[in-house]
Structure 1
Amino acid sequence: MRYLSKDQYKFLQEELAYSRNQDILSQEQADKILDLYAIKPGLSFVRVMLVIGAILVGLGILSFIASNWDELTKLVKYLIIVGMFLGFIAAGYSMSEKYPKTSRSFLYMALITYGAGIFLIGQIFNFGGHFTQAFLLWAIGVLPTALLMRDKLVFLFAQLLLLIYTLGSIGTAGFAYGILLIPAGYYFARLIPAHFIAFFNNLLSIAAVIYLGEFSKVEPVLTVLLLFILGNIAFYKLQDIYRLQGILLFCITGFILTFPDIWNAWQLASFNTEISIVFSIGYILYMLWLVKKEHFIPLIFVCITIFRYYVDLTYDFMPKSFVFISGGVLLLLFGYYIERRRRKVARS
């Protein structure tokens, strides 16, 4: 079964009806084709209300506890946290059959309580360690729940926790073993395909590459070049969201490589300006070639790169008011050109 939006499903019905009228398909064949598709379920208003309610209740209870934290003994604090967590779990389980959406809300409150409990218990018993370890422990608790319940929202939350952990681990001592959990995201994406899950999986992988580059003391230019190459591979070899993220990745990393300071490695520091200019010329030509292939995103980065060089060359020796006015005019011209280009592509 494949899911389509309402407009896509309606378009498919109209095309199949046209094919029947032209005697290309029989009624039975059209029905069989239509049975392969279904309208993609939209957001449930009830579920949105319950999710927001669960988040507010969880945060409210924890805020109340935190405000009276000093007046409670360590044992009472610990029992309150554990009691809230187990209470939400029990309530969710008891309502799972009759009221599944409300049951999920109690699950969300339990996960919020679990994470907040990690931080609060750390304060109670004065546990040391970097703050990212708490996010890792939180993610370790959330991930199995997401896989068991096959809940996209819970898994998205786990991905955000891992992203905070990975980025926060940059520059810290010791290896961030939590990045070994990233493959679980791709396994989940195979179970329940969703573009936003794939997007955050790739974002986590990019963060892991940056972290590993810093941890291994690799020159930043090598890390950026690696991401530039990986972006090109994803753009040319993969499909859907991977292709979109690929073009964004090599456009962004290519723009970073136009700055001279990124080339301050090994014996390149003496020629960093020349190398950045040569790369910038090649980068702009490459972007223009992609624009010719009717890709819109590279056009934006061509404009950004040209504008950066304009500011670098004029800011120091031209009157500041003229720099801003002429820069604004340049951006307006870029905007006009982009809009004109998009209209041309739309007409074609």
Structure 2
Amino acid sequence: MNKQWMRSEGQKWVEDKIITNDQLELIVERYPETKDSRKVTGILPVLASILIGLGILSFIASNWGEIPPLARLSLLMVVMLAFYAGGERYLKTGNETFGTSLNLLGIISFGASIILLGQTFHLNAVDARLFVFWSLPAVYFLFRDRQKLYYFLLAVLTLGGQLYSLNEFQSFSYLLFTIFLISSGSFVFLYPRSLESWLFTIGLSLQAMMFIIAEDINFLWFFLFGFALFTAGLWSLKQVFKQPFNRLGTLIGFGFAYGLYFLLTNEFSSDFELPNPYAFLSVWIVILALSIIKKRKDSLYLHAWDLLIFIPLFYLENIAVPLFVGIVYLIVMFIYSGSKLAEGYRNENPSQINFGIVLFLLVCLMGYFNLAWAFMPKSLFFLIGGILLFILNAFLQRKKKQVLKNGGPHHA
């Protein structure tokens, strides 16, 4: 309920002598303002403050060369402190949305100030240290106010800084990774929220990917990271980490199977380099053992099939032709996605069913693409493919409705 709207409307009732002011206050207090209402009404102030802040910063940047150095420093300090002061003022009056948006602009102007001052004094960056300092205010405000907007900004700064380091210096910033891991991870651990846990999992995966690229490590090690992420989800004591780790780890494993099937069945395997089998398989065996131990501990013997996607079948290329290995990957993906779908139907879990449907349709799409692209007219190829996918999706969705008709999900 929007209290401001109630007071505005209620004042008309007071003027018409339907109720008194005291009665109006009692009515307003009876209906507390909901979070959803505050979210909706707070969107415009956030957008307005961001646009105003960006306008100020862009104006300063466009006229930067005409401003004396001392005046530049003073101007940047005034703008930044004005944002922070305004943010704190609105927070004290209870306007969290507007106060948070101004503090966000304070953080943004802090980073912009460092960049502009660096240009003024001709300072050359040799690493991503700028983003390390830039992310520290976001960490402070995140743990002080626990607002998700600070979490988003922290993720953008740490991941953006890592990408900047990779592009400009071909290096991986361990400081940025440490800040991301400790601050983002501990925040989700202390204050469990679904959206933030997904952002943390995605961010962690992107950090791992950039590390592998920066250190010029064989990219198939990222497949092993996906398996480790999946296993970490099995062992996680915090429920908020279980689904993101499990789902994203599965998608990484499935994505590799998807890509390897395409490469191995289309004669792209000539440049295909495998990681050192002794190191890779040693780590893989350890992760596999941890997965099996946890499944045995939780009596999940029938769910062991979900480890199928994490078998490093690409090593079969050493003893078999690439086409055969690719077909094996296609069979594995069909079995895996079909089993995931069947498990969702069995558990009457809509989320699991949807996940299984997406995986199954992706496998069908890739199989059809590889089979029909070479010899079928392209117009007919797209027409038949679209019709087949539409029919298959309709059948699976109908099956889903039938399964969920009598009671919905029985498992979380």
2:109 alignment partner, one of 101, 107, 113: 113
3-state SS of paired residue (1:75): helix
Amino acid at match of 1:341: K
Deviation at 1:130, TM superposition (A): 6.8
Per the alignment, do residues 313 and 135 of structure 1 end up closer, same or farther by CA in structure 2, a change over 3 Å counting? farther
- Return the alpha-carbon distance in structure 2 between the equivalents of residues 39 and 286 of structure 1: 47
Deviation at 1:43, TM superposition (A): 4.6
Amino acid at match of 1:118: I
Deviation at 1:227, TM superposition (A): 0.7
Per the alignment, do residues 202 and 59 of structure 1 end up closer, same or farther by CA in structure 2, a change over 3 Å counting? same
* Residue 247 of structure 1: aligned partner: 247
Paired residues for 1:201-220 under 5 Å: 201-220=200-219
1:266 alignment partner, one of 274, 279, 283: 274
3-state SS of paired residue (2:36): coil
Deviates more, 1:319-328 or 1:240-249: 240-249
1:314 alignment partner, one of 372, 382, 399: 372
Per the alignment, do residues 221 and 274 of structure 1 end up closer, same or farther by CA in structure 2, a change over 3 Å counting? farther
* Residue 119 of structure 2: aligned partner: 123
- Return the alpha-carbon distance in structure 1 between the equivalents of residues 329 and 33 of structure 2: 47
Residue by residue, what CA displacement relative to the aligned partner does 1:61-114 show, whole Å, maximum 9, x if unpaired? 112212222322333222211221122223334554335534434322211211
- Return the alpha-carbon distance in structure 2 between the equivalents of residues 219 and 40 of structure 1: 50
3-state SS of paired residue (1:293): helix
Amino acid at match of 1:139: S
* Residue 157 of structure 1: aligned partner: 153
Deviation at 1:305, TM superposition (A): 1.6
Deviates more, 1:219-228 or 1:80-89: 219-228
- Return the alpha-carbon distance in structure 1 between the equivalents of residues 255 and 171 of structure 2: 31
Amino acid at match of 1:282: V
Contact 1:315 1:323 in 2 (8 A): yes
Residue by residue, what CA displacement relative to the aligned partner does 1:219-252 show, whole Å, maximum 9, x if unpaired? 2122123314523652686745631552243134
Amino acid at match of 1:275: V
Does 1:68 find its partner at 2:57?
no
* Residue 290 of structure 1: aligned partner: 340
Does 1:226 find its partner at 2:234?
no
* Residue 361 of structure 2: aligned partner: 303
Contact 2:226 2:252 in 1 (8 A): no
- For this pair of structures, how many residues does the alignment match? 311
Contact 2:357 2:393 in 1 (8 A): no
Paired residues for 1:47-66 under 5 Å: 47-66=42-61
3-state SS of paired residue (2:258): coil
3-state SS of paired residue (2:57): helix
- Return the alpha-carbon distance in structure 1 between the equivalents of residues 255 and 187 of structure 2: 33
- Return the alpha-carbon distance in structure 1 between the equivalents of residues 101 and 121 of structure 2: 30
Contact 1:235 1:244 in 2 (8 A): no
Deviation at 1:149, TM superposition (A): 2.8
- Return the alpha-carbon distance in structure 1 between the equivalents of residues 247 and 151 of structure 2: 25
Contact 1:199 1:242 in 2 (8 A): no
Amino acid at match of 1:287: S
Contact 1:166 1:207 in 2 (8 A): no
Residue by residue, what CA displacement relative to the aligned partner does 1:266-324 show, whole Å, maximum 9, x if unpaired? 39566444323212312220221111111321221121122112112221222111111
Does 1:41 find its partner at 2:30?
no
Amino acid at match of 2:253: T
Amino acid at match of 1:292: A
Deviation at 1:59, TM superposition (A): 0.9
Deviation at 1:180, TM superposition (A): 0.8
- Return the alpha-carbon distance in structure 2 between the equivalents of residues 220 and 283 of structure 1: 20
Contact 1:189 1:198 in 2 (8 A): yes
Deviates more, 1:100-109 or 1:300-309: 100-109
* Residue 78 of structure 1: aligned partner: 73
What is the aligned-residue RMSD (CA, Å)? 3.0
* Residue 177 of structure 2: aligned partner: 179
Amino acid at match of 1:195: S
Contact 2:201 2:244 in 1 (8 A): no
- Return the alpha-carbon distance in structure 2 between the equivalents of residues 274 and 201 of structure 1: 38
Contact 1:147 1:155 in 2 (8 A): no
Contact 2:155 2:203 in 1 (8 A): yes
